[in-house]
Amino acid sequence: MASYDREDVACHLCFGDTVLREWIKGESGGRGKCPWCGGRGHLIGLGALGEVFREVAEIYEPVEWPDEGGDEIGWLLEGHWQIFSRRIDDAGLVQDLTVAILEAGLHPKHDVDFPDYRGTFRGTENVLEMAWDDKAQAVLSGDWPADKMPSAAGIESAIAPDFPDQITIAFEDLAKAFEIGEVLYRARIHDDRLRREHFAAHEVGAPPKEKATAGRANRKGEPVLYLASDLSTALAEVRAWQGAAVAVSEVAVTRRLNMVNLSEFRAIESPFFDEMLRWKVRLLRLFSRLAYDLSKPVMPHEQEVLYRPTQLLAWLIRSNGYDGFLYPSAMGDGKNIVVFDSTSAEVKTPTYMRVERIGFRAKPLSPLESIYDNGPYDHALSRRT
């Protein structure tokens, strides 16, 4: 039986990524005992793997100074993408195989064009998020009427000049329809102790234009209908306290609504053989952050700054012809829904409920975790002018 050296070959059994495994099978010259995982798999030269892996490694940048932190490239690739199989189950082996692949096929005279793969790396700065926030602050800092706003295409081109139509395409991929008669929910706390009569349906629905305050999906004077996918989420979203009386209405969709489902933005299944990987990673981070921004509570003094990026998202969705969007709830188990045109849904006569108990689920905080969940908020606040 032929033997192979680690600097020469690996096999498909070393990897858990199905796209990569199938590619290796197609490119392999035959089976043999792998010097890395010990299995009898489809062998492939490390040089062939090198070019494929270097394209993925480009989404990370080398750390120049030790005090800047960073991680080994093998740890990053495995941690983010789960590339390797259980046969490569040791962190040192993951790093050794990763570096061997990344360095394979590099000519000594040309290796200056590539980073030192034995050093430490980190994710590249998300310029898409920064461009989005800058545009949101520039466009929405004043009371611009909707008909004076820049075009949606112009905004997309300014945010992502290399991929000017990809945000619109992402909306298309996330499209979801609500059919006539579908039931959603809306709640309102009865916190006026001087009022004895129950709310009417129109008082639970969207406010009139003159009373519409700025929200995550709307500017001041632009009323939208905020709904929930189920009763418990509607109650949770109004932050009702124990003993509070809450008016809850069923809301029936009266025409077919074309929506964007931000809660269905899926992770990238495989980083290999994707010419738009860097863009997709950035877009995933942006949409994940905006969904987080939409769902998390915001302090009143933060609203002016932190609402703008999500307001820009809502405006682009609306400008592309959609009737609203869905996003995760941080308070309940269901989804939150924004419907731009409140006449597209009928708010039924509310039923009053008394909150008897409020429940919380928690988990222990690791000593390594930050006490303050800084998330995306600090980035936006730090850019306040």
Comparing CA positions, the residue from 90, 200, 221 lying closest to residue 146 is 221
Backbone angles phi, psi at 211, to 5 degrees: -110, 0
Query: Which of 123, 140, 169 lies at the terminal end of a domain, its last residue?
Result: 123
Q: What is the mean pLDDT of each run of 10 residues along the chain (385 residues)?
A: 87 97 96 96 96 95 81 93 93 96 82 83 88 89 69 88 87 95 95 85 90 88 94 89 91 97 86 92 91 77 75 94 92 89 95 83 67 43 35
Residue 1 inside a domain? The answer is no
Pair 225, 205: CB distance under 8 Å: yes
Looking at the structure, do residues 164 and 305 belong to the same domain, yes or no? yes
Q: What are the tokens at 281?
A: 């990673």
- What is the chain's length? 385
Amino acid 240: pLDDT: 81
- The DSSP symbol for 218 reads B
**What whole-number distance in Å separates Cα of residue 73 and Cα of residue 268?**
19
Amino acid 113: pLDDT: 76
Residue 136 inside a domain? The answer is yes
The tens digit of pLDDT for each residue in 22-54 reads: 999 999 989 999 999 999 999 999 999 999 999
Amino acid 301: pLDDT: 56
Q: What percent of the chain has pLDDT over 70?
A: 88
Residue 345 inside a domain? The answer is yes
Amino acid 108: pLDDT: 67
Looking at the structure, do residues 169 and 254 belong to the same domain, yes or no? yes
| Rounded-to-10 torsion of CA 41, 55, 159, 291 | 30
Amino acid 383: pLDDT: 35
At position 12, the amino acid (one-letter code) is: H
Looking at the structure, do residues 110 and 131 belong to the same domain, yes or no? no
Looking at the structure, do residues 172 and 276 belong to the same domain, yes or no? yes
Comparing CA positions, the residue from 12, 9, 3, 105 lying closest to residue 50 is 105
Comparing CA positions, the residue from 168, 385, 362, 378 lying closest to residue 283 is 168
Domain residues for 254?
127-368+375-382
Looking at the structure, do residues 55 and 198 belong to the same domain, yes or no? no
Label residue 33 exposed, middle or buried (CB < 10 Å: 0-12, 13-18, 19+).
middle
Looking at the structure, do residues 108 and 141 belong to the same domain, yes or no? no
Looking at the structure, do residues 182 and 90 belong to the same domain, yes or no? no
Looking at the structure, do residues 72 and 176 belong to the same domain, yes or no? no
**What whole-number distance in Å separates Cα of residue 90 and Cα of residue 103?**
20
Looking at the structure, do residues 167 and 53 belong to the same domain, yes or no? no
Label residue 157 exposed, middle or buried (CB < 10 Å: 0-12, 13-18, 19+).
middle
Pair 247, 240: CB distance under 8 Å: no
Residue 3 inside a domain? The answer is no
Query: Which of 94, 123, 152 lies at the terminal end of a domain, its last residue?
Result: 123
Amino acid 99: pLDDT: 97
Paired strand residues for 184: 251
Query: Which of 81, 99, 123 lies at the terminal end of a domain, its last residue?
Result: 123
Residue 69 inside a domain? The answer is yes
Amino acid 143: pLDDT: 64
Residue 360 inside a domain? The answer is yes
Residue 311 inside a domain? The answer is yes
Q: What are the tokens at 262?
A: 């931000």
Amino acid 250: pLDDT: 97
Pair 186, 347: CB distance under 8 Å: yes
**pTM score of the predicted model:** 0.81
Residue 4 inside a domain? The answer is no
Looking at the structure, do residues 17 and 146 belong to the same domain, yes or no? no
Looking at the structure, do residues 26 and 100 belong to the same domain, yes or no? yes
Question: Of all helices (H) and strands (E), which one includes residue 188?
Answer: strand 183-189
The whole-angstrom distance between residue 84's C-alpha and the CA centroid of its chain comes to 24
Looking at the structure, do residues 55 and 195 belong to the same domain, yes or no? no
> What is the number of domains present in the chain?
2
